[in-house]
Amino acid sequence: MTESPLERLARRASAEPSFLGWQLAAFARARGFDDDALAAYLGCVREVLANVRLCGAIRPDRFREDVACVAQKFGLDARRLADAAKRLPAEPVREPARADAPGVCIAARDRGEAP
């Protein structure tokens, strides 16, 4: 399936915190959703997701208003959109793997030795 220009723009917007797409992307990653599953969860068809992602991010100080507006505009389930737009806890910071840890294979460039 070929990505439309609108879908490409929405994908790029999903990397920017000022767009709703960024919030939805974090939610989808946390739930293991692909686009079809995310659309089904929100109660819309997949083709609507690009437009939803291009909306401004749901603002914490106007959360209910923003959720209601987007949900009404695109026919989404408002409760599920609110759930998807909530700030997720930060992902834990992972320590770099140690060379002596079991099951770790490092590249020669990771040894810290000069070539």
What is the tens place of the pLDDT at every residue in 70-100? 999 999 999 999 999 987 554 444 555 555 5
62 part of a folded domain: yes
| Alpha carbon 15 to its chain's center | 8
Percent of the chain having pLDDT more than 70?
75
43 part of a folded domain: yes
71 part of a folded domain: yes
37 part of a folded domain: yes
35 part of a folded domain: yes
| Interatomic CA distance for residues 24 and 104, integer angstroms | 33
76 part of a folded domain: yes
CA distances from 106 to 94, 109, 114 (A): 16, 8, 15
pLDDT, position 109: 57
29 part of a folded domain: yes
19 part of a folded domain: yes
| Interatomic CA distance for residues 57 and 79, integer angstroms | 16
| Interatomic CA distance for residues 43 and 49, integer angstroms | 10
Give residues with Cβ within 8 angstroms of 11, minimum separation 6: 3, 21, 53
The residue segments making up the domain with residue 45 are 5-85
Domain count for the chain, please give it: 1
Average pLDDT of the chain to the nearest whole number = 84
End-to-end CA distance of the chain: 45
> Global pTM?
0.73
